[in-house]
Amino acid sequence: MPEDHVHNHSGHSHSHDDHGHEGHSHGKIIALHSVNSAFIIGIILNLLFVVIEAVVGLMIHSLSLLSDAGHNLADVASLGLSLFAFRMMKVKSNTVYTYGYKKTTVLVALLNGGILLVSIGAILYESIHRLILPEPLPGKTISIVAAIGIVINAVTALLFFRNKDSDLNIKGAFLHLMSDAVVSAALVIGGIIIIYTQWYWIDPLLGILVAVVIVFSTWSLLRDSLRLSLDAVPQGIDLRDVQLAIEKIPGVQDFHHIHIWALSTTENALTGHVVLRSEIGMEEQEKIKKEIKHQLLHYNIQHVTLETETEELACEPQRQPNLSVNP
C-alpha cells in the first residue's frame, strides 16, 4: 500500500512516498528467484571451466588457455559480486542507510565494467606478446577445451538473456558470458587453423580482434553505470518529458526544482516542487499528488518526494538550464 506523509507549514505541503501502485504494474519487473539461480549456476559452471582450462593449460604450456582461464576467473568474481549486490538490495533500510543498500547494485555494475576492461587489457597484452613471439601449440587440445567453453558460456548466458535489458548487473553478466563464448569460439577457430597450417600467429591475432569487439559491447555498460553512480538522470527517462507530463495534470500550474536519480539499477527516485492553483483545497491536493505519483510510475520512478505550493505562496521557479540530460 502507498505510504504517504504530509506536513503543512507556512502555506507549504510536503509529501513523501515510497510505494508501488495497487492494481497496476509499471516499470521493469525482474524475477529475482530465477536471476539468483542463474547467477549460482553461472558461477559453478564457469568455476569448473576455469579449473579445466588452468589444468590443461599448465599441462601443454598453453599461454592462450592460461590467459583465458584468468579472464574467466575474473568473470566468476564479477558474477559473485552481482549476486552479492542482488542479495544486498533485499536488505531493509535502517536509521543510517535510509534507502537500504540498493545503491550497491550501481557500484557493482560500475566495478564489473571496470573488471571487464581490465580483462580486455590482459587479453590484448598477451595477444600482442604472442603475435611478436608465436609459440608452437597443440591445436587439437586447444580446440577441444575451447569448445567446452563455448557450450558452458553460451548456456549460462542464455539464463540471463530474458532480463538483460532490465538491470545493469544482469546485462553485465550477459556480456561477460557472451564475450567468454566469443573468445572460446576464436580459440577453436585458431586451434583448427593451427592443426592444418601451423600458423601459430593466428591465435593471438584472433585474440586482438575479439578484444576489440568486447570493448564496443562493454562501453554502454560502463557508461550507464557511471551515469547512475554520479546520480545522473537514469537512461530512458527524459526530465523534460516528466515535467511536461506532470504540468498537464489538471490543477498543476508548474513543476520545478526536479531531481531524478537511481536508488539501484532497477529503482529510481524523484524530488520536486509542485505549484497548484490557489483555490484547490487539501482534499483535492491529495488527489493531485496521487495522480502525480501514478504518472511517475509510468516513467519507472517509484520513490517520490513532493513539495506542494499554492500560486500566491510559490517560490520563483528556478528551471534547470538543460532539462534533457542525456549525454
**Per residue in 14-70, pLDDT tens?**
455 444 444 344 444 455 566 778 888 888 998 999 899 889 888 877 766 777 787
Cα–Cα distance between 9 and 32 in angstroms, integer?
42
| Mean pLDDT, range 310-320, rounded to an integer | 56
- Within 8 A by CB and 6+ apart from 64, the residues are 57, 126, 130, 137, 142, 187, 190, 203, 204, 207
Q: Single out the residue of 150, 6, 172, 145 nearest to residue 62, CA to CA.
A: 145
Tell if the pTM clears 0.75, that is, is over it. Answer: no
Q: Which residue has the higher pLDDT, 198 or 135?
A: 198
Angle at 171 between CA 162 and CA 143, to 5 degrees: 90
- Within 8 A by CB and 6+ apart from 140, the residues are 191, 195
Whole-number pLDDT of residue 26: 43
Taking residue 187's Cβ as centre, other Cβ atoms within 10 Å add up to: 27
pLDDT single digits (tens) 157-180: 888 887 777 777 788 788 878 878
pLDDT single digits (tens) 188-204: 888 888 888 888 888 77
Mean pLDDT lowest among 61-70, 265-274, 301-310 = 61-70
